[in-house]
Amino acid sequence: MLGFVYIILNVLTGFVICGFLAPRVMAFTRRTYTGEKLTVMPALLCLPFWYVLGALPMTWLTYLTACLAEKCGAKDSLGVADLIIISLDAFFVFLGMYLLYRNRKLQKMCAYLAQVNRGEQIFAAITFIFAAFLMWWTFSYQDGVYRVGYSVFSDFAPHIGMIRSFSKGSNFPTGYSHFAGEDIKYHFLFQFMVGNLEYLGMRLDWAFNLSSTICLAGAFWLLYVLAVKLTGKRAVGYVAAALFAFRSSDALFDFFAKPPTKLVIESGPDQKNLSSLVWKAFRANEAFVGTTEHEDWGLWNLNVYCNQRHLAIGLCVLLCLVIFLLPPVFSAVGRVRGRIADKLAEFRAKDPEYKLLPIEKIGYAVRFAVFEPDGWLPKKPVRAVLLGLLLGMCSFFNGACVIGCLCVLLVLAVVSDHRLEYAMVAAITVACTLGASNFFIDGSAVSMKYYFGFLAKVRTFAGAWEYIMTLCGILPIVLLAGFLISDSARKWIWVAFAAPFVFAFTVSLTIDITVNHKYIMMSLMLLAIPAAAFLVWLFERAGVWTKITAVFLLVVLTATGIYDLRIVVRKNDIKEHRYLVLNEDDPITNWVIDNSDSRDIFLTPYYSLNNFVFGGAMLYYGWPYYAWSAGYDTDLRAKKVREMYESRSSEDLIRQVSENNIRFIVVDDDCRKSDQYKVNELVIASTYKRVFVSGKTSIYDTRERAESIPADLLPIQEADSGK
């Protein structure tokens, strides 16, 4: 129950902050960016904005208070932090709402919030239910068993490990659950937020799924608001949401056009038989389709939001900043046009036939945009500070969204008024990010270098373009059409929306270039707006064929994404038992919870997601990909794991265990059958006491010396033959 109270407090905290610092936010949906009247439901903007505006600072404050409590020697540091922060925040909310009521702001805000639209209510309900379905379908609970779907269990390993290290352990100062003993390079605060909800009594599936649902539904709502404010048309918002959910790609059409070789062989020369086999394969397929690298991971579809749950909250923050920082772009365009018109009128007063040459218009546009005070001086510094802090706090929720947002804002600032507001946002964001990085990370978490082509097979311009067309299908053509029918202000905004896409194809920040796919998905989410605007524009043209064409294009654009949804459902089908089981009554899980905390490091095989991870065990070296892609030195640690497991003497093992701060050593069949090392279990058993055994899994405590070797590990003696 307290977990639900915590979520409500998040929203109310954002409500109160807005009431004092940004009281006109609720009126933001009443007009487009060009001043046309709108009647968009304020709740679609305010609810997700309030949530992130409250959740981010509350999570940070809870975390930092828990760190301080841990440093002061508190036995239950997270409990102390929750007691302090929830109490203070509840007082802040109560006092804030009382003051807002006294100033009559509360009544006005509630009146705005009460404004509804039936179509938008249905849209909000559908997107929330859709998001909830995705989350609970891939991660659910029944009768003491958590079910982790086959399409998400890989990334859920570090996610659940981190969550449980907080809810069942005391991971302060924080270490990475799959690479314990070093700093934390992974953006983990969403997992901390979920872990805190579980600590407060919310069952894990509810804590993880509800937080994820709120954020993903919020992304749909904010994208809708942005689309409608940019175009003045609700239909654009609805279509943009559909394009966001269901990606455009050649993948599905390639599946039909180029059937698997096995099907061609089975069909023989009979093309009718081939068509039948392809259709059967289409219906029976359980793998993500696509020909570009790693599409079998579900790298570009809805599975990403099920798998990487911390992405959606970053998208919400990105959308909030874009929504609130676009007005200076339109004011700049209007101001410059007015100044050019004034200049032309000045010339025509002397020569009625005078016309400005294109080069003159460009010159005056640059002059009025760059060399006049309105182009630079901040108009709403409070807005800039608030949004800068919001984006800065997002850095350890999802760092990629922070970088992607800064890319968009950098391009927008070129043509915007009040550029110092953008500079303030960027400066505050960078300061917060650097401060957090210095607090959590030893050294640097990223290493920027030029890397052209992303995952294209041929890393040339032609190769990259071929990759983009294969990945995105007809979307680039639709976007070009949408670009051509737009005015100058929106053209520049569409270019800004493409900035993270360009970044992904030119810059590498980590050792694994694949992680750049998140920047591409950010751009594709934003670029869904100009694509939707073109489709709606085409549908509104006179004539039935234009309407048919618009509908046909929409079907082609969303077909692969809709099929991807079918694969997500099939891959995680509960009735077909396509899930990994985590039993909350598992003896290993309960032993880890009862006998260790996050300061205890486990030497284990290369675990991904299992009962040790579910118990919150801090693994010295879990599945290597997670740590490798986060920037840790996995080669060195793999060598140390091998040396410890292969130790030939107690003295050697004790030395290495001490050097690496190992508390528990796990030996099981994964360890015994490993092709990375040959475990010397007799040395381990003769050195340390076995404190737990379940089936073929043994745990040895390095703080207790062995009194004798367990009987089941002693060599079997041959029976006396009587000779």
**DSSP letter for each residue of 368-409:** HHHSSGGGTS-S-HHHHHHHHHHHHHGGGT-HHHHHHHHHHH
Closest C-alpha to 398, from 508, 314, 305, 315: 314
Mean pLDDT for the stretch of residues 145-170: 93
Residue 269 has pLDDT above 70, yes or no: no
First to last CA, the chain: 74
Q: Contact at 8 Å (CB) between 8 and 51?
A: no
| Mean per-residue pLDDT, 508-522 | 92
> Which 8-state DSSP code applies to residue 701?
E
What is the C-alpha separation between 625 and 606, in angstroms, rounded?
10
Helix (H, G, I), strand (E, B) or coil at 710: coil
In a domain, 639, yes or no: yes
Q: Give me the phi and psi of 667, to 5 degrees please.
A: -130, 120
Per-residue pLDDT, 25: 87
- How far is the C-alpha of 263 from the C-alpha of 261, rounded, in Å? 5
Which three-class secondary structure state does DSSP give residue 688?
strand
Given 116, 142, 175, which residue is the final one in a domain? 116
pLDDT value of position 161? 94
Spatial CB neighbours of 345, under 8 Å, sequence gap ≥ 6: none
- Residues 157, 69: one domain? no
In a shared domain, residues 109 and 173: no
The answer to whether residue 277 scores a pLDDT higher than 80 is: no
Residue 562 φ then ψ, to 5°: -65, -40
Q: Do 65 and 177 belong to one domain?
A: no
Nearest to 337 by CA among 368, 359, 376, 379: 368
**Strands 618-619 and 601-603, how do they pair?**
parallel
In a domain, 283, yes or no: yes
The per-residue pLDDT of the chain, averaged, comes to 91
Tell me how far apart the alpha carbons of residues 627 and 623 are, in angstroms, rounded to a whole number: 8
Q: Are 522 and 315 spatial neighbours (Cβ–Cβ below 8 Å)? A: yes
H/E segment holding residue 614: helix 611-614
Estimate the crossing angle of helix 311-325 against helix 204-231, to 10 degrees. 30
Q: Which amino acid makes up residue 610?
A: N
396 burial via Cβ count (<10 Å: 0-12, 13-18, 19+):
buried
Counting beta carbons within 10 angstroms of the beta carbon of residue 444, is it exposed (0 to 12), middle (13 to 18) or buried (19 or more)? exposed
- pTM passes above 0.85: yes
Rounded mean pLDDT, 463-486: 95
For residue 579, what are the contacts with CB-CB under 8 A and spacing of at least 6? 140, 147, 148, 149, 150, 153, 572
pLDDT at 474 over 50: yes
pLDDT value, residue 424 = 97
Which residue range is the domain that position 67 belongs to?
1-116
The DSSP secondary-structure symbol of 301 reads S
Q: Is residue 355 part of a domain?
A: yes
Structure tokens at 402: 């922070």
pLDDT confidence of residue 723: 37
pLDDT of res. 445: 65
Q: Quote the pLDDT of residue 661.
A: 94
Same domain? For 72 and 157 the reply is: no
pLDDT-derived band at 719, boundaries 50, 70, 90: very low
Look-up: residue for tokens 């807002």? 100
Q: What is the C-alpha separation between 33 and 126, in angstroms, rounded?
A: 27
Q: Over pLDDT 90: what percentage of the chain?
A: 73
Cβ-Cβ contacts under 8 Å for 427 (sequence gap 6 or more): 388
Same domain, 160 and 277: no
User: Residue 401: what residue type?
Assistant: C
Report how far residue 113's alpha carbon sits from residue 358's, in angstroms, rounded to the nearest whole number.
47
Total domain count, the chain: 4
Based on the fold, state whether residues 620 and 692 are members of the same structural domain. yes
CB distance 321 to 425 below 8 Å: yes
Same domain, 708 and 593: yes
Residue 62 forms part of a structural domain: yes
Which of 289, 306, 337 is the C-terminal boundary of a domain? 289
Instruction: Give the strand pairing for 688-694 and 618-619.
Output: unpaired
Instruction: Tell me, yes or no, whether 665 and 719 share the same domain.
Output: yes
Same domain, 14 and 61: yes
Q: Would you state the structure tokens that stand for residue 305, as one six-digit string?
A: 């939001």
Q: What is the pLDDT of residue 720?
A: 45
Show the tokens assigned to 29: 């949906």
DSSP state of 718: P
> Average pLDDT of 698-702?
95
Residue 22 has pLDDT above 60, yes or no: yes
* Same domain, residue pair 19 and 112: yes
> What are the residues whose beta carbons fall under 8 Å from the beta carbon of 646, sequence distance 6 or more?
677, 678, 679, 680
Structural contact between residues 179 and 632, judged by C-beta atoms closer than 8 angstroms: yes
Question: Are residues 672 and 709 in contact, defined by beta-carbon separation less than 8 angstroms?
Answer: no
Residue 467 has pLDDT above 60, yes or no: yes
Whether 62 and 170 share a structural domain: no
Q: Please indicate, yes or no, if residue 692 is contained in any of the structural domains.
A: yes
Dig out the tokens for 461 from the structure: 């311009």
What is the phi/psi pair of residue 257, to 5°?
-75, -35
- With a CB cutoff of 8 Å and minimum separation 6, the contacts of 524 are 244, 247, 472, 475, 501
d(CA 239, CA 245): 10
Whether residues 630 and 693 share a domain: the answer is yes
For 202, phi then psi, to 5°, come to -80, 130
Tokens of 570: 């099939």
Residue listed under structure tokens 């009647």: 39
pLDDT of 683 reads 93
Tell me how many helices (H) and strands (E) the chain has: 32, 10
Q: Is residue 295 part of a domain?
A: no
Cα-trace Rg, the chain: 29
Nearest to 521 by CA among 546, 500, 493: 500
Say how far apart CA 55 and CA 48 lie, in whole Å: 10
- Contact status, residue 216 vs residue 79, Cβ threshold 8 Å: no
In a domain, 723, yes or no: yes
What are 405-433's pLDDT values in tens digits? 999 999 999 999 999 999 999 999 999 99
H/E stretch holding 692: strand 688-694
Integer CA distances (angstroms), 108 to 8, 38, 102, in order:
21, 18, 12
What is the structure's pLDDT at 718?
43
Which amino acid is located at 417 in the chain?
A: D
Q: Is residue 415 part of a domain?
A: no
pLDDT at 7 > cutoff 90: yes
Angle between helix axes 2-21 and 105-113 (nearest 10 degrees) is 110
pLDDT in tens, 71-125: 998 989 999 999 999 999 999 999 999 998 888 878 878 877 888 889 999 999 9
Query: Last residue of some domain: 71, 89, 116?
Result: 116
